Structure 1
Amino acid sequence: MVVIAVFKSSRPEGKSAMKWFGAAQQRGTVMALTALQVVICTVWLTTASPTPYKNSQYITSKIVYECAIGSVAGFSMLLGYIGLLAAVSFLLAFLARNLPDNFNEAKF
C-alpha cells in the first residue's frame, strides 16, 4: 500500500495523501486488522465452537470422528474476512506491478 502511495504522491494532486501512510499509520492498520480477526475468532469460538462428532452412519463397523463446525455464520464470517484480506492483497500487488524499474531492489 505504501509503495503505491509513494508513486501516486509524486503527482501534484497526491501530495496530501502521504500523511496517511506513515510508520504509525502502518502499525495501526496492521493492529486494527489483526484485532478484528481476533474478535471474529473469539466471538465464533465462545458462542458456538467446533466440537468433535462421532459419525457411525456411513461405516457401521467403525466410528469416525468428524468436526462439527458449530456456528456456520461465524465460520462464514471468518472465511469471508480472510478472503477479503486476500483480495485486497491481490489488488495491491496487481496495482504495484507497473512500478518503475529503478525501484526494483533485486540483485542479479
Structure 2
Amino acid sequence: MRISKEGGISLQRIRRPSNRTPAAPVAKVAERLVCRSLGITKDGEDVTSSTLNVFTKRFKEQLPPEVIVAMRDFFKLDDSAVAAVEDALIDHGGAAAMDSVWLEQDGQGSQLAIA
C-alpha cells in the first residue's frame, strides 16, 4: 500500500529487492537436521548424494542401539506420563477402543467402523 501524491491510497503492490536468501524447502532442512544429529555431517556441511548414501548404508541392516534409544526418546515410548494418558483413554473408550478403524467412503469423507 502506498499514499499517492495526488491524494488517496493505492493498493498497488510495491516490489522491493529482497536481501534475504530464500528459505530452504522443509525436506532439505529435515535432511540436514537428521544427518547432523546422527553425526553423518558436521555443522554447516551440505547434504550431498554421497552423504545420503552413507545414511542409507547406515540403516540398511538393524538399527544401531543409539538410534533406537534416540527414537524411543523422541516418540516418548518410555514416558510414564504418556503411558498413563494412553491407559486412561483406553479405559474411557472400553476394550473395543483399540479395534476402531476409519473407513474411507466414496469421496464422502470418513466413517468410523468397529472391526
Report if TM-score (shorter chain) is over 0.5: no
TM-score relative to the length of structure 2: 0.23
* Highest RCO, 1 vs 2 (Cα 8 Å, sep ≥ 6): 1
Q: Please say which structure displays the higher CA radius of gyration.
A: 2
TM-score (norm 1): 0.24
